[in-house]
Structure 1
Amino acid sequence: MKIIVPMAGRGSRLRPHTLTVPKPLIPVAGQPIVHRLVSDIAKVLGEPIDEIAFILGDPAFFGDDVVKSLIELAEGLGAKASIYRQDQPLGTGHAIMCAKESLSGPAVIAYADTLIRADFNLDKNADAVIWVKQVTEPEAYGVVKLNDKKEIVELVEKPEQFISDLAVIGIYYFKDVAVLKKELQYVLDKNIINGGEYQINDGIKRMMADGKVFVTGQVDEWMDCGNKQVTLETNTKMLGFLEKDEAQLISDSVIMENATIIPPCYIGEGVTIKNATVGPNVSIGKGCLIEDTTIKNSLVQTQTSIKNATLDNAMIGNHVLYDGKYTTISIGDYATLE
């Protein structure tokens, strides 16, 4: 089994946090989005992962440190890491084809901008599985249309009329991903463009037209990380799940002086908390100082100092110095507010 991870986007909706860090490497509940996504997929697939192919963007942004972390991620799961580049933002189908050398055999394709909680049960009789989540506003999503056999017969983007309430979440399984590769090559060769880009859906639709059987897979939770607010909501949900899983969320190296922690919280290595109340629903990365502060429902990355603050619904980057009165804030890396 292979896992293919397109992650070349810059994450503009999550700025300023993605000005210096690619969105898939933004930590949620103490772990980068892509690390958590790939690890969770590997865990629930229940079979060995041979290769994980990552499709990255500009090397000036997705640099050596990013490549190193992804190689370590794959090797930690017993898999080979393959690194590819998408030099131009030409769409989801184009991104997948940038990894064409890895497109053979059974594979899961997962876009690295969401997190899930699921129990995968692959239908080995189907040619492909598209994972979906029931939503209350299907007109805002791409949805699947099913026949009476519960097979997917159509993909519809943001339908004006009700088609179904099963939204595509961006995770797919192909019994032989080389079939998708063939159809996407046709899309590229014939310059089939939708929305100004080459789309994975056009390759999938060609597979359906050729009689390939697509079925749905259901996830229990689908959590977005598209902007600051939903990332904070995802952080809260993930902390709750990890607490139920009895995961260790607070490092043994945390230093506390007159401090209170209200769970669930993730607190990384080397964090110092003085005269402060932290939680609930807070993630704090390694090496931070939290002093004379009350903070809840927030996400703080690494090596950041926060003093004299009352924070709620805040997202703060790496290497930030913050000493101030504002409550709901979004501060990128290396900022100083004193």
Structure 2
Amino acid sequence: MKIIVPMAGRGSRLRPHSLTVPKPLIPVAGKPIVHRLVADIVHVLNEDIEEIAFILGDPAFFGEEVVESLKALATDLGAKASIYRQLDPKGTGHAIMCAEPSLSGPAVIAYADTLIRADFNLDKEADSVIWTKRVENPEAYGVVNLNERDEITELVEKPTEFVSDQAVIGIYYFKDVGELKTELQYVLDNNIINGGEYQINDGIKRMMANGKVFKTGTVDEWMDCGNKDVTIETNRRMLGFLQESNEGLLSESITNENSKIIQPCFIGKNVMLKNSTVGPFASIGDGTVIENSSVKNSIIQTHTVIKNATLDNAMIGNHATFDGNFTNISIGDYSKLS
């Protein structure tokens, strides 16, 4: 089994945090988004992964540090890492085709801007499985239309009339991803464009027209990381899940001077807490100092200094300094407010 991860986008909705760090590498509950996503997919598949192919953007932004991080992720999961580049943003279908040498055999394609919690058996008799989540407002999403055998017959984008309540979340299984490659090559060769780009859906629709059987795999939780507020909400939900599963969230190297930690929280290595309250639902990165402050429902990244602050629904980047009385803030790497 292979996992293909297109992640070349710049994550503009998450700025300023995605100005210096690619969005898929921004930590949620102490671990980068893409690391959590891939590990959760491996858990659902419950089988050996031979290769993880990452499709990155411009090397000036997705540089060697990013590449080494992704290679280490693949190695930790017992897989080979392949790195590809999408230098021209031409859509989801085009991004997949940038990994053309890896498009053979069984594979999962997963876009790295979402997190999941799922526990289901993948139907490997189907030609493809599209992962979905039941939603209350399907008109806001792309949804699947099912026949009486629960086979997907149609993909409908933001339907004005009810089609189904199963929204497509951007994770797909293909029994032979080479079949998708063939259809996407046709899409590119014939310049089939929707929304100004080459879309994965156009390749999928051609597979359906050729009689391929598509089924659904429904996830229990689907968590977005698109902008600051929803990323903090995802951090809150993920910390809750991790606490339930008794995953270690507190480093043993925390220095605690007259401070209170309210679970669930993630607190990284060599964090110093002085006269502060941290939590609930706070994620604190390695090497950060929090002094005379209250921090809850927030994400603070690495090597940052927080003083005299009351933070709630805040997101602060790496190597930043914040000293003040603001609460709902969002500042990026190497910023200073004091």
TM-score range, shorter chain: over 0.9
Q: For residues 28-67 of structure 1, what are the structure 2 equivalents within 5 Å?
A: 28-67=28-67
Structure 2 partner of 1:177 = 177
Quote the Cα distance in structure 2 between the aligned partners of 1:121 and 1:177: 19
Superposed displacement of residue 119, structure 1:
1.2
Quote the Cα distance in structure 2 between the aligned partners of 1:27 and 1:251: 16
Q: For residues 76-225 of structure 1, what are the structure 2 equivalents within 5 Å?
A: 76-225=76-225
Superposed displacement of residue 40, structure 1:
1.0
Quote the Cα distance in structure 2 between the aligned partners of 1:218 and 1:159: 19
Quote the Cα distance in structure 2 between the aligned partners of 1:333 and 1:70: 21
Structure 1 partner of 2:3 = 3
Name structure 1 gaps, 5 residues minimum.
none
Name structure 2 gaps, 5 residues minimum.
none
Quote the Cα distance in structure 2 between the aligned partners of 1:79 and 1:291: 42
Quote the Cα distance in structure 1 between the aligned partners of 2:335 and 2:54: 30
Task: Normalising by structure 1, report the TM-score.
Answer: 0.99
Structure 2 partner of 1:22 = 22
Equivalent AA in structure 1 for residue 222 of structure 2: W
Quote the Cα distance in structure 2 between the aligned partners of 1:274 and 1:103: 52
Equivalent AA in structure 2 for residue 194 of structure 1: N
Quote the Cα distance in structure 2 between the aligned partners of 1:285 and 1:209: 49
How many residues align structurally? 338
Superposed displacement of residue 161, structure 1:
1.4
Q: Deviations over 1:284-322 (max 9, x none)?
A: 000000000011100001000000000100000000010
Structure 1 partner of 2:251 = 251
Q: Secondary structure at 2:183's aligned position in 1?
A: helix
Structure 2 partner of 1:280 = 280
Q: Deviations over 1:158-195 (max 9, x none)?
A: 11111111100000000000000000000000000000
Q: Secondary structure at 1:299's aligned position in 2?
A: strand
Structure 2 partner of 1:265 = 265
Structure 2 partner of 1:240 = 240
Quote the Cα distance in structure 1 between the aligned partners of 2:297 and 2:117: 21
Q: Deviations over 1:99-153 (max 9, x none)?
A: 0000000000000000000014111221000000011111111000001111000
Quote the Cα distance in structure 2 between the aligned partners of 1:181 and 1:120: 26
Quote the Cα distance in structure 1 between the aligned partners of 2:125 and 2:108: 16
Q: Secondary structure at 1:125's aligned position in 2?
A: coil
Task: Normalising by structure 2, report the TM-score.
Answer: 0.99
Runs (4+) of structure 1 exceeding 4 A deviation are: none
Equivalent AA in structure 2 for residue 283 of structure 1: S
Structure 2 partner of 1:298 = 298
